[in-house]
Amino acid sequence: MNLLEIIELRLVGADRDIVEENLKNLVNSLAEEEEVRKIKIYNRFRVDTDFSIHLFHGQFKVKNGGSQLGLRITSRH
C-alpha cells in the first residue's frame, strides 16, 4: 500500500519569501532520501502563511507519530 504523509505548516511573523525559499531548499536536499518517493509543497490560496508538505511513500509502514523523514522535517521548523 502506498502512503501519503501530510505536514501542515502555518507561519506567524515570518517573511513568507524566505520561508518558501527554505522549503524549496529542504525539498531539494531531501530528494535523494530513499524512504520517500516524492515530496510536494503546496501553499493555501489567499493565505500566504499556510503551507502543506506532502511526502509520498512507497510500500512503507509508518507509526502514528510519522515517518523518520517527517519527524526530521518538523524538527527543523
Domain boundaries, the chain: 3-76
Q: Are 50 and 43 in contact (CB under 8 A)?
A: yes
H/E stretch holding 53 reads strand 50-57
Rounded CA separation 73/77 (Å): 7
User: Per-residue pLDDT for 63 more than 70?
Assistant: no
Average pLDDT of the chain, as a whole number: 77
Please state the pTM of the whole predicted model: 0.73
CATH of 3-76, one of 3.40.190.10, 3.30.565.10, 3.30.70.100, 3.30.479.30: 3.30.70.100
> What is the pLDDT confidence band of residue 33, given thresholds at 50, 70 and 90?
low
Residue bearing cell 501519503: 4
User: Per-residue pLDDT for 77 more than 60?
Assistant: no
Supply the pLDDT for residue 70: 77
User: Per-residue pLDDT for 7 more than 80?
Assistant: yes
